[in-house]
Amino acid sequence: MIWKIQLSFLLIFTILCVAGCSDNRYYDDQLQMELQQLDNDLDNRWSTTGVVVIDVNANGPASQANLEKGELISYVIGERTIQSTGDYKQAVKNAMKEDNNFIIKLTDGREIRLAVRRKGDRVGLEVDGSRVIKVTSGSPADTGNIKVGDTIQSVIDEQNIQTIKDYKKTLNEFAKHDSKVTFRTIELVGIKIGTVNALGNLGDVRAVEPLTALLDSEGSTLRQPAAQALERLVALSQLNTLFQQFQQANVDELPADQLNPRQRESAEILGLLTSDLENNRVTLNDPFGTQFRHRSEALYQKITDGQMVELGQKYIKREVEPNQEVRRACISILGHLKPTSAIEDLIAVMEDSMEVPGIRFKAGLALSQIGEDSVDALISAFDRGDASVKDIAASALGNIGGNKARNMLINALKTTDNPTIKLTVADAVAKVGRSPSIEALRLQRETLPEGSGLRTFLDELQVSLFDVELKYQTHLNSENISAELRQEFKENKIPLSQNAILSIQKKDSEWWIDDKDNQRMYIVRKEARKEEGSLNIYEPLDAESMSYSATN
């Protein structure tokens, strides 16, 4: 049986094919329709990939399912009826191959999405035939409110389609088990999508209003690209402080050590500038970077006037916004703008068991970007939440850091029994750093048997955190940072401003260097190796919370 989730039908396919359709075609004899794969050139031009229906035979199966010429197939969804334990196990195994999640449909009509964070993790469900006989406490099945005695009607597997190969492989797999097939299609609007994307790339304040209107319009197929373009504009607006330094100096090049490293790195990722750290120079790229220094202030004022926060909060919930990419973009917008008014809504998204796992983690990331104001809400969510919520909340708290988050995580490390959550909590404790965290991890490690998974993880965690070393033979014993150490920083392309100070010294083995101009804190530890003194330099993610990460 074939049917379709119909999203839209409008098409400018002829223009798109001229722009970038390849000769990679396939005729589906069973469904009686011809498909064509969009090639890389089209992807580069319009940020669109997938398989397009280019012809449908009248009265054929595809035509009867209301598939129309010009539609882009984005997902093929197979629904497999469960009649035996073997049916269930095979259906789950196939569904979990690509994206670690699937949907269970129960005979009472409920549809429950089950997801795991890591490959190999179990959903915590055992069946006899199609009847549930065991649900593991704290598992995704438990948090999804599946009960012993429930009867599984079917397993629904959503497969993303990007190529002809994906299409054929997925249809063949579903055909083996007589699965009911659903095609989820989207509209191709070619030049319109390209125009909307271009508005996001311009960094011009005049793009905000038309993009906002598109996102707020009901039923428009341009809502997703509009949301993604607004996401980029918001990200650009947050670089205003950096670009105003260029604007006020009326230059397109500045010394690297005068610029905020994080903003500089973000601007470089967005293609606005190029860094030459060896020569301490940062140059704006022409034309976008050089033009944006004139536009950044107006864009920043417009983006931060409150309208964007209101719009973002409006479309982050699954009950309000059906398009997951729009939800994802709006959550990202809130993460950039950091409004405390969004904390409650983001917590709700994080706790929504039917939400796509990636979006739930995106909400946790946005909460960590908001920072300390989110800590109490995240702790409460961890305390009352299921395993998935605890996993996300712990990770977010680790990113935020600070004494309150650290103390809560250390306590959770001692009291949590779930091994998966314990791994996440240990990782979060390590991110927060500082002596209490390091000591807590050390004590936890000592309680574990040799060769246990968690002990191995803690060993690997220390290696990953402390994998950067700078050899330095001079014994530091003063409050001044020596010229020799500064040279080591320079040679390793680690910016260190002239105002950096040695803030803490622990005996003769550890020094904390506070570089407030660059908003960085470096921890220098000395180790004796062979006949040399060796210094390891670590850079916290946040100078206030002392969260650790290896310096690249």
CB atoms within 10 A of CB 417: 8
51-56 and 72-81 beta bridge pairing: antiparallel
pLDDT above 60 for 381: yes
Closest to 156 in 3D by CA, of 129, 120, 132, 182:
182
Q: Which residue has the higher pLDDT, 388 or 491?
A: 388
pLDDT above 70 for 249: yes
This prediction has a pTM of 0.57
Least trusted range by pLDDT, from 111-125, 130-144, 315-329, 347-361:
111-125
Q: Which residue has the higher pLDDT, 144 or 249?
A: 249
Q: What is the pLDDT of residues 469-516, one digit of tens each?
A: 333 223 333 346 667 667 766 766 677 777 777 655 555 556 667 776
Least trusted range by pLDDT, from 11-20, 121-130, 151-160, 287-296:
11-20
Rounding to the nearest 10 degrees, give the CA dihedral for residues 279, 282, 286, 290.
Answer: -150
The answer for residues whose C-beta is within 8 angstroms of residue 441's C-beta and 6 or more apart is 413, 426, 429, 430, 458, 461, 462
Which pLDDT score, from 0 to 100, does residue 241 have?
Answer: 93
Looking at the structure, give the CATH architecture of the domain made up of residues 373-465: Alpha Horseshoe (1.25)
Which pLDDT score, from 0 to 100, does residue 453 have?
Answer: 76
Q: Quick one: pLDDT band at residue 429, thresholds 50, 70, 90?
A: confident
Sign of torsion over alpha carbons 76, 77, 79, 80: positive
pLDDT above 90 for 423: no
Query: Angle, nearest 10°, between helix axes 223-237 and 288-303?
Result: 100
- Cα–Cα distance measured from residue 395 to residue 350, given in angstroms and rounded to the nearest whole number: 12
**Phi (first) and psi of residue 537, to 5 degrees:** -115, 125
Closest to 366 in 3D by CA, of 401, 322, 336:
336
Which pLDDT score, from 0 to 100, does residue 521 have?
Answer: 66
**Mean pLDDT taken over the chain:** 78
Which pLDDT score, from 0 to 100, does residue 332 have?
Answer: 96
Q: Quick one: pLDDT band at residue 311, thresholds 50, 70, 90?
A: very high
CA distances from residue 484 to 255, 480, 488, 521 in whole angstroms, order as listed: 21, 11, 7, 19
Q: Which residue has the higher pLDDT, 103 or 10?
A: 103
Q: Quick one: pLDDT band at residue 173, thresholds 50, 70, 90?
A: confident
Domain parsing of the chain, residue ranges: 1-188, 373-465, 469-550
Q: Percentage of the chain with pLDDT > 70? A: 74
Q: Quick one: pLDDT band at residue 18, thresholds 50, 70, 90?
A: very low
Q: Which residue has the higher pLDDT, 505 or 181?
A: 181
Average of per-residue pLDDT across 522-528: 60
Q: Which residue has the higher pLDDT, 353 or 480?
A: 353
Average of per-residue pLDDT across 442-449: 75
Greatest mean pLDDT among 41-55, 213-227, 262-276, 465-479 lies in: 262-276
Q: Which residue has the higher pLDDT, 507 or 546?
A: 507
Least trusted range by pLDDT, from 189-193, 279-283, 294-298, 318-322:
189-193
DSSP SS3 for 104? strand
**Cis bond leading into 495, ω under 30°?**
no
Least trusted range by pLDDT, from 11-15, 55-59, 407-411, 462-466:
11-15
- Diameter over CA atoms, the chain: 86
Which pLDDT score, from 0 to 100, does residue 309 have?
Answer: 95
- Cα–Cα distance measured from residue 458 to residue 439, given in angstroms and rounded to the nearest whole number: 12
Which pLDDT score, from 0 to 100, does residue 382 have?
Answer: 95
pLDDT above 90 for 344: yes
